[in-house]
A and B are shown apart, each in its own frame.
Chain A
Amino acid sequence: MPGPTPPIRSTPANPAEFPTLVLVGHGMVGQRFLEALADRGVTERARVVVLCEEPRPAYDRVRLTSYFSGTSPEGLSLAEPDFMARHGIELHLGDPAESVDREARTVTSRAGLVFAYDTLVLATGSYPFVPPVPGKDAAGCFVYRTIEDLLAIEEYAKARAATGAVVGGGLLGLEAAGALKGLGLDTHIVEFAPRLMPVQVDEGGGAALLRTIEGMGLTVHTGVGTQEVVSGDCGAVTGMKLSDGSALATDLVVFSAGVRPRDQLARDCGLEVGERGGVAVDERCATTDPAVYAIGECALAADGRVYGLVAPGYEMAETAADAIAERLAASADPGAPGNSGRAPSVFQGADTSTKLKLLGVDVASFGDAHGAAPGCLDVVYSDSRSGVYKKLVVGPDGALLGGVLVGDAEAYGMLRPLTGSVPPVAPEQLVLPAGLGAPAALGPSALPDEAVVCNCHNVTKGTIRAAVTDHSCATVPAVKKCTKAGTGCGSCVKVLTSLVNEELEASGVSVDKGLCGCFAQTRTELYEIVRVRGLTGYARVLDEHGREAARGGDGCEVCKPAVASIIASLAPTLGASGYVLDGEQASLQDTNDHFLANLQRNGSYSVVPRVPGGEITPEKLIVIGEVARDFGLYTKITGGQRIDLFGARVDQLPLIWARLVDAGFESGHAYGKALRTVKSCVGRTWCRYGVQDSVRMAIGLELRYRGLRSPHKLKSAVSGCARECAEARGKDFGVIATSSGWNLYVGGNGGADPRHADLLAQDLDDEELVRLIDRFLMFYIRTADRLERTSAWLERIEGGLDHVREVVVEDSLGLCAELERLMADHVAHYRDEWAATLEDPDRLRRFVSFVNAPGAPDPSVRFVPERDQMKPDLDILAGPALPVRTLEGNPA
């Protein structure tokens, strides 16, 4: 399918003056290399061509197995969709490099395209090693490396397999076994070594792992090799013969016996390769030909090792990009001083520490995990009952050299950076379970400044501290942005967070987490206070729980709407009025909630009737049109599949709504921190691709959650198939149809800080879906900060998505029944706010422009024509443009 991607950026007229860089391979390391080039401005100064064998751009191979838990191939993608276009990179998918002519400096692709290069970079990765056993090519034999491999395994498993066997019990083998188990196969693991994960863990760790994995119902065969794959009459796999003489019946075999560097291209063009494979490179990742570089798993690094992990590959990508950027700068301006005295970055080898979750088991290994150093000693904690095994390797001088953690790798974030130094407490305290072990005083503060906290980006504790002290980063997200720490695998975020807080406190910044000047509590704490004490009035909350000086006062514009929102969310449960403008509540609401409409820049308001799921009858469309025409309103279609009517004066709002309510419309809550819309595509009913009735579901969800007050607005969408036309993954909660039900995604956002929603659960039936959304929303409302969207909340709360899943899917806190009850209360007590307003003369009283001239329109709200409609006449308001003041309190 995809041919060459045309660059959008214009290239210089004379390509001869513009050096060409050809990258062979677009895997994880290849993509990182491109990003590194872009960061260094190389893509501005050179033509960059990428040849990629796979039919799709770089994706996260480490998370490959998550495809089986619902992540779409697109969800694994690593490059932002417009990355290539933005940087003018030519990406050729499905067209691998076939040969290199180093003399002529050209690369020829399989399709026959020839590219002249000034610099060539090989990032061809590895290929799975398949042991040369008879029958290895039978139908039903697979490897586990690419998305295409996964799709093929899935198809075969679903059609004709009940049992599957994985050859290889290493890291990838366990990943593959997890995938087969996820497909519902009776799964076997065959490992030649006497234990699982022989490279990473020791005997004790392997034993703990074995018990846990067998406990999950997988069958593990260690210490046996595969002698032959046996096939039946039709050529399909029926079983395996093992080296101990036994036979294993299986319908499918996945070979996962390690990987080998893909160095054929380099061999063919005469570059030096290692004895056991790998393109030989120096410390700057250059091969024996200075115009050719090799990075990642295909390279034999200067320390004589081939690295099969992504972090060292990333480091090589950065190193090569540095070297190439310098070369380019030097050739463009030979007189330039070059690197301005900075030592050139080099790759001399890397830490192969890893922390993984395999089949749900935490496994970590770091430093000298096998105790190879002379004179070293072990400290071991082992608890077979709970499948926990921890070993630390300590040198004769007491320095921590490495370790293995199985079943509980919580300490990894602290232990790995301590490697190489003498820990501040006795090593046995570091492996004992919490409560028995490390005294509370041993926090990240005990780490030396040079300890590498973020392994993915090689960020030291000192750098993180400097981000706070020298670069005035005052929050964890700011430090992440500044240093890149914590943006890789994320395993260090916990340590990072405590470091940042510690540093802030040390530098005298008191971290006041209070909502505002009136309350020392966070919004979450106030929610609990209101809920547990059953408070229904702001004044009581302020007088009894506010800061001393604020009690008895008027509160402020930050906490009033926040408390009003909490009371509104809990109103049915507290027995308070569900009408947000009753009694004292009226004085707490922002003007939008006060007039049940959206204030616009000239003091007029806009009106948005609810159009559930975006479905609307012609009659209702006509009513909207007539109302807009009769009141002279400007109309515009919103992004949420409804119609916004602009330019209403406050005194017109009840008149407009009387007509709308009459025609069957309800408030769309566009003015509230509440559910806005549930968008939908047209779904199975009309669309030839649709697999579920997305419109029905969207309407059902919108009607269920309408009027639900929350810490911030809530948006949703339902797509009828994986094409995702409703853009559900850009929503706070998004639903995507599958052939067997619905997938639920949460925490998506558009706007200034876009975020794709994460899969919370998959293949749900209608009832399960609604129940999960009920719980999710109520948990969010309960624990989010003021004006914190679900995306920011999900990023902030400890444990992130996993924690939310544990709470709302697995009910780890025993909260689900209560969350469901809260939502049931909400649904049972919903009333349309505009209907309730119109039928009560007292409530209508506020809708006047002037208290002393109720009939008079506001003369400052005037309009001038534009494009057949009207727009605010700003001339009569004419004032200088002045800056916006940001509200105090917690950052939104």
Chain B
Amino acid sequence: MTTALGRTAVPTGTGPARPAGSGARAAVRVELLVDRRWFGVCDADLLTPGRGVAALLPDGRQVAVFLDRGGIAYAIGNQDPFTGAYVLSRGLLGRTAEGLPFVASPLLKQRFDLRTGQCLDDEAVAVAAYATRVA
């Protein structure tokens, strides 16, 4: 498995590219770097800031894709390693006191760093993380 190094793709242009920008209906796509190729997931306006969605990769892997309040997209593996269920996309986003963006699993509430996939409550546990861009 590729140890995908979490890297946030800061959107180009003036400031964070908030999806569904006023009036401009040009489709803004969210893409993930999967096996060194950019893979388009969906139009950015399908994402709600502060929430996630699940996406299916061509090889059957599931990823959880999130948008934070500032319009930055993140992607990590969708499977919750603590329960095995594919549910991380349905967790709530937050930021730790140190400023790390995280998602809390909706099942047993462990938190995962959205940039690296590292579990913040158990350093022995991590999920895959994918670089993203909104373009």
Chain A contacts to B: CB under 8 angstroms: 517, 539, 549-550, 553-558, 560-561, 584, 586-588, 590-591, 594-595, 599, 601-603, 845, 849-853, 856, 858-861, 874, 877-880, 882-887
Contact = CB atoms under 8 A, between A and B. Distances in A.
A884 B109 contact: yes
Contact of A555 (B47, B55, B94): B94
A880 B101 CA distance: 25
Nearest to A595: B90
Nearest to A604: B85
A584 B108 CA distance: 24
Contacts of A856: 56
Interface residues of B, number: 46
Interface of B: 41-42, 46-51, 53-56, 60, 62, 65, 68-69, 79-87, 90-97, 99, 101, 104, 106-111, 121-122, 125
A558 B122 CA distance: 19
Contact of B87 (A550, A591, A852): A591
A851 B90 contact: no
A882 B41 CA distance: 31
Given A553-B95, A587-B50, A878-B84, 18 more contacts: A517-B96, A556-B95, A557-B92, A560-B50, A561-B92, A587-B93, A591-B87, A594-B51, A601-B107, A850-B53, A851-B55, A852-B55, A858-B86, A877-B86, A882-B81, A885-B108, A886-B109, A887-B109
A409 to B, nearest CB: 46
B106 A590 contact: yes
B42 A852 contact: yes
19 contacts: A554-B95, A556-B95, A557-B109, A584-B50, A587-B50, A599-B106, A599-B107, A601-B83, A602-B85, A845-B46, A851-B42, A851-B54, A851-B65, A877-B79, A877-B83, A879-B80, A882-B81, A882-B110, A884-B108
A587 B49 contact: yes
A586 B41 CA distance: 21
B102 to A, nearest CB: 8
B97 A549 contact: yes
Contact of B90 (A556, A587, A599, A874): A599
Contact of A594 (B41, B79, B90, B94): B90
Contacts of B109: 557, 884-887
A587 B48 contact: yes
A586 B51 contact: yes
A594 B55 CA distance: 18
Contact of B50 (A554, A558, A850): A554
A557 B91 contact: yes
Contacts of B84: 602, 874, 877-879
A884 B121 CA distance: 10
Nearest to A539: B69
B60 to A, nearest CB: 7
A883 B124 CA distance: 13
Contact of B101 (A554, A601, A861, A877): A554
Contacts of B56: 850, 852-853, 856
A603 B108 contact: no
Of A601, A883, A885, A886, most B-chain CB atoms within 10 Å? A885
For the complex of A and B, the 8 pairs showing the least CB-CB separation, nearest first, are A587-B50, A877-B84, A556-B94, A879-B84, A557-B104, A851-B53, A591-B106, A557-B92
Contacts of A879: 79-84
Contacts of A549: 97
Nearest to A874: B84
Contacts of B122: 882
Given A851-B41, A887-B109, A860 B51 contact: no
Contacts of A858: 54, 62, 86
Given A885-B109, A885-B110, A603 B85 contact: yes
A635 B60 CA distance: 31
Contacts of A590: 92, 106
Q: Is the interface of A mostly helix, strand, loop or mixed?
A: loop
Contacts of B108: 882-885
Contacts of B111: 557, 885
A860 B108 CA distance: 18
Contacts of B53: 850-851
B48 A586 contact: yes
B112 to A, nearest CB: 11
Nearest to B122: A882
Contacts of A882: 81-82, 108, 110, 122, 125
Contacts of B69: 539, 553-554
A590 B83 CA distance: 18
A831 B101 CA distance: 35
Nearest to A849: B54
Contacts of A595: 90
Nearest to A547: B97
A588 B79 CA distance: 21
A544 to B, nearest CB: 15
B87 A599 contact: yes
A560 B94 contact: yes
A885 B48 contact: no
A463 B6 CA distance: 53
Contacts of A853: 55-56
Contacts of B96: 517, 556
Nearest to B97: A517
A854 to B, nearest CB: 10
Nearest to A859: B60
A558 to B, nearest CB: 8
A878 B55 CA distance: 21
B52 to A, nearest CB: 9
Contact of B92 (A560, A883, A885): A560
A852 B60 CA distance: 12
Nearest to B105: A885
Nearest to B92: A557
Nearest to B43: A851
Nearest to A650: B90
A885 B121 contact: yes
B75 to A, nearest CB: 11
Contacts of B80: 879
Contact of A850 (B48, B54, B87): B54
A567 to B, nearest CB: 15
Contacts of A588: 50, 92
Contacts of B50: 554-555, 560, 584, 587-588
A295 B62 CA distance: 71
A27 B91 CA distance: 55
Quick one: which of B79, B94, B122 has the most chain A CB within 10 A? B94
Nearest to B52: A851
Contacts of B48: 586-587
